[in-house]
Amino acid sequence: MLYTVLVIAIVFEVLGTSAMQAAQHFTRPAPTAIMVLCYAVAFFFLSYTLRYIPVGIAYALWSGLGILLISCVGYLGFGQKLDLPAILGLALIITGVLVLNLFSKSTFH
């Protein structure tokens, strides 16, 4: 259940960041409102996980998976290219998230 809450936070963070791209420097009201709402929901759910997961671990998972997902959204939704160093960096982020979850005693299991 706790990881479900963290995934909800991550999804809303990615939605908020996608809306930020669409807001075009806050000149488009609807995407700007969506961005604010999504970030509020993301931080609400992230704050819930901090009751049980240390802040450094929760934030590492939240930001790492968020970076991976928003990179995919940028590539698929906004036509932003990923070169080899970007792909390798994303692979390292995935590796770090896996190491945290599989081997760290600091995470919730």
Q: What is the pLDDT of residues 44-64, one digit of tens each?
A: 999 999 998 888 888 888 999
CA–CA separation, 34 vs 22, rounded Å? 10
Q: Which residue has the higher pLDDT, 9 or 103?
A: 9
Orientation angle between helical segments 2-23 and 55-78, nearest 10 degrees: 40
What number of CA atoms fall less than 13 Å from residue 108's CA on the CB side?
16
Domain that holds residue 97: 2-103
The predicted pLDDT at position 108 comes to 61
In a domain, 108, yes or no: no
In a domain, 70, yes or no: yes
Confidence of residue 100 (pLDDT cuts 50, 70, 90): confident
In a domain, 109, yes or no: no
Q: CA of 105: how far to CAs of 47, 64, 78, in Å?
A: 20, 19, 38
**C-alpha 107: how far from chain center:** 18
In a domain, 34, yes or no: yes
Confidence of residue 109 (pLDDT cuts 50, 70, 90): low
The count of domains in the chain is 1
Residue 69 pLDDT more than 90? yes
CB atoms within 10 A of CB 77: 12
